[in-house]
Amino acid sequence: MDTQPTQPQASSAPSPAQSSLLSKLLIILVVLIVGGAAAYAGMKYQQRVDAAVLTEQLAAKDAELAALKTPPEKPKLAILAPLGKEELCRGDDFVISWKTNPLIEQVKVLLVRPGATSNLGSYLPVGNVDTPEGTGAIKWEVGMAGGPDTDQLAYSVPNSQLYKIHIDATGTDKIMQSAESGLFTIKTCP
């Protein structure tokens, strides 16, 4: 008889010590997986937050740079009086006024009669005024052009519904601005 040595048969159920060890290993594995996934998710969230913060910071810097590249808008010349549609009586005093950039040093005030064909021309001087504060005014005798504030003798202009005031302004930084009022009337009043 041939006898072969018998091998001990392995039992299919783990021993209680092995079960406890497997349970502990499984718990450790689950903790590592869940913890790693949570850490990964937290890292991704932090990356998104960091990216959003950087995007906001870049947008703010872009806005600052754009503001540096864009020169500040200079206030425009604006005629405050006359605005237009006024009926002014010949011989009355009327105050022509304007507002402009504080860098403006001088304005030339002209009476304009669009389309005039007389020998007087279309642009008639009313006055030259220094305006160091950016605002100014000149008292004008309605119906007159030239005079002491200009380089011409004073003279009367005809009645018309087609007059405007035109102002040319110049300043320290060679600013040149112009503005015109709306149409107004010069008439003889009783």
Architecture of the domain defined by 78-187? Sandwich (2.60)
Average pLDDT over the chain reads: 79
- pLDDT over 70 (residue 118): no
Residue 57 sits at φ, ψ, to 5 deg, of -65, -40
Residue 184's contacts (CB-CB under 8 Å, 6 or more residues apart) are 82, 84, 85, 86, 87, 88, 161, 163, 164
DSSP 43: H
Long-range contacts of 39-43 (CB under 8 A, 24+ apart): none
- pLDDT over 60 (residue 120): no
Alpha-carbon distances, residue 36 vs 40, 42, 136 (angstroms): 6, 10, 75
pLDDT category, 9, cuts 50, 70, 90? low
Alpha helices in the chain (DSSP H): 16-69
Residue 122's contacts (CB-CB under 8 Å, 6 or more residues apart) are 112, 113, 114, 115, 116
By mean pLDDT, which of 6-15, 86-95, 96-105 is the weakest? 6-15
* Residues 84-99, mean pLDDT to the nearest whole number: 93
Q: What is the pLDDT of residues 57-72, one digit of tens each?
A: 888 887 777 777 766 5
Query: What pLDDT, on a 0 to 100 scale, did the predictor assign at position 164?
Result: 92
The pTM for the full model equals 0.58
Burial 160-189 (b: 16+ CB within 10 A, else e): eeebbbbbbbebeeeeebebebebbebeee
CA distance 165 to 87: 14
Which position has the higher pLDDT, 151 or 144? 144
